[in-house]
Chains A and B, each alone.
Chain A
Amino acid sequence: MLSQFGFILLFIVGAFLMLAGILGMARLLRPDKPNDQKLLSYESGENAEGGSLVSFNIRFYVIALIFVLFEVELVFLFPWSVVFGDKQLIEQTNGLWGWFSMAEMFVFIFILSLGLVYAWAQGHLDWLRPDQKVNPFKSEIPSDLYENINKKYS
């Protein structure tokens, strides 16, 4: 098994070499004539006002926090899921093993689902919705006119 992970290292080294090759080749081939205009930040043709590293919406941060909690849940679930259906263990314990591990994990998942429900109820998962305004304008042209035209030329 150790040798297999050695091959993974070989794979990573290979990927690095290939990336270096691509970027190095591009560096040799391409022109390089920078000037001040080219090096400006692109902001649809205007000069950039201030830096971009400003504070942004706090919701992204909250989402990241909730994510970390659930990712840890996943880390615990991966080993559990592998031994859950283990035929040998089930036979040795007369079927008790499956029900025991399932009940154990249900408690775990239940507590975490409670966390999700809490975040949901507190509105941490809600995002701003744009207002959808209905246009009050009423056209004087009846809509069946268009339908007739569509029918005529279809």
Chain B
Amino acid sequence: MEAVLIIKGIIILAIFALSLGIAAYETYFERVVAAYIQDRVGPDYAGPAGIFQPLADAGKLFFKEDFIPALADKSLFILGPSLAMLTALLTSAVIPFGDSFIYEGQKILVQGIEVNIGILWVFGIVSLGVYGILIGGWSSNNKYSLYGAIRAASQNISYELAMGLAIIAILMMTGSLSIRSMVEAQHGFNWNIFYQPLGFIIFLTCSFAECNRTPFDLPESENELVAGYHTEYSSMKLGLYLFSEYVNMFISSAVIASLYFGGFNYPGMDWVYSKFTSIWGATVGHNWATVIGICVLMAKIFFFIFLFMWVRWTLPRFRYDQLMDLGWKALIPLAVLNMIITAAAQLSGKPLWIGLILTLIIMLVIFLPAIKKRTVKA
């Protein structure tokens, strides 16, 4: 029991370090990707190719003076960014980053905590994430901050519904709330994206909105609201807000990869596993196969992080009425439809390709008018 506790402690520390480290380097890659897309050089001053830029940024945030506006509610002003960071960090507890390591005959899962309510935990903590922004914006006692906070709250709750409905379609296929059993059901190349293409699009859009990323970054749209909900923040409290956005991006990429793209599964994993165990024996081979699985999951996560950045530097921001229309009038009905299709497909017992073709036809019918409109305008 003692050893297990120590190992769990190490895993928890490792997950914190991993989320924070990846978040720090996301800020660097964000700049590199932006520079590449805008045909600039990007950060190149701190260290070779600017790789120490995140460290310099963190140092700057630590040494800046931090003032709390005279009109602000002091305790809530400090609580806001702390809550934002806390909710961002807690989500990573249930994500399975890999299969398991065998150590002294015991199987240790590469996961913070394996609970039977995994996805419900993620969903609940993400809902709590609204409070961080809302409390911070409200307690600043600044009109820009208040507008940003209300926009953020309204946007997050609108997109949460479609996100939940998309998750439910996945749950109906797996019959379990544990993320690990969802990932294990996608063994090999049996990924959920082939069963849930529409659900994947809905989930991806909603995760953009939940992370307040462009094209959904209305809470902090800088040409309308100065800096939105963090107008009055400075020093490390501002740093916590900015950091929590990047941690959220990492976590939502991990959740997308686990729910739709098979997590640590990859085609040919059984062959690799049997090869490794025959070369190095059951224990060492198993551990090496797990390491490869972790690398595969990381590659998927980095792809989605890149997608987040790619979209940010390509698409302009929505108008608020467009944002609300997309959430309530497009995504929620589509998510309900997706759920009904999934239920019917589960019960009919027909092979996969019939469902795929049906979904494609439905998607064509829905998206064709929009595409036509656009081509006529151009």
Contact = CB atoms under 8 A, between A and B. Distances in A.
B116 interface: yes
Contacts of A48: 71, 142-143
Interface in B331-355: 332-333, 336, 339-340, 343-344, 346-347
A111 interface: no
Given A42-B142, A52-B143, A102-B343, A7 B324 contact: no
A130 B143 CA distance: 21
Contact of A84 (B70, B232, B329, B346): B346
Interface in B56-90: 61-71, 78, 82, 85-86, 89-90
Contacts of B320: 127
Interface residues of B, number: 79
Contact of A39 (B13, B67, B171): B67
B63 A14 contact: no
A128 B325 CA distance: 11
Contacts of B121: 8
B113 A4 contact: yes
Contact of A38 (B67, B158, B235): B67
Nearest to A12: B90
Question: Secondary structure at chain B's binding surface: helix, strand, loop or mixed?
Answer: helix
B175 interface: yes
A141 interface: no
- A contact residues, range: 35 or more
Given A4-B115, A84-B172, A102-B343, A63 B67 contact: no
Contacts of B339: 109
A42 B64 contact: no
Interface in A89-141: 98-99, 102, 105-106, 109, 113, 116, 120, 125-130
Interface string A1-19: 1001101101110111011
A5 B236 CA distance: 31
A40 B70 contact: yes
Given A29-B62, A41-B69, A41-B71, A8 B146 contact: no
Nearest to A18: B16
Given A82-B177, A86-B175, A8 B142 contact: no
Interface stretch (B161-169, B205-213, B362-370): B161-169
B373 to A, nearest CB: 15
A125 B324 contact: yes
Contacts of A77: 164-165, 168
B93 A11 contact: yes
A88 B32 CA distance: 53
A15 B90 contact: yes
B327 to A, nearest CB: 9
Contacts of A23: 78, 82, 236-237, 240
A25 B226 contact: no
A51 interface: yes
Which of B146, B160, B236 gathers most chain A CB within 10 Å?
Answer: B236
Nearest to A20: B82
B359 interface: no
Interface in A44-66: 44, 48, 51-53, 56, 60, 63-64
Nearest to B78: A23
B39 interface: no
Given A22-B240, A25-B62, A63-B154, A85 B86 contact: no
Nearest to B138: A53
Contacts of A32: 65-66
12 contacts: A14-B16, A15-B89, A23-B236, A30-B64, A30-B235, A52-B141, A53-B146, A67-B158, A83-B175, A86-B175, A98-B346, A130-B319
The 7 closest A-B pairs by CB, nearest first: A127-B321, A26-B236, A81-B171, A39-B70, A74-B164, A67-B157, A52-B143
Given A8-B93, A53-B138, 7 more contacts: A10-B12, A42-B144, A43-B142, A56-B150, A71-B160, A74-B168, A125-B329
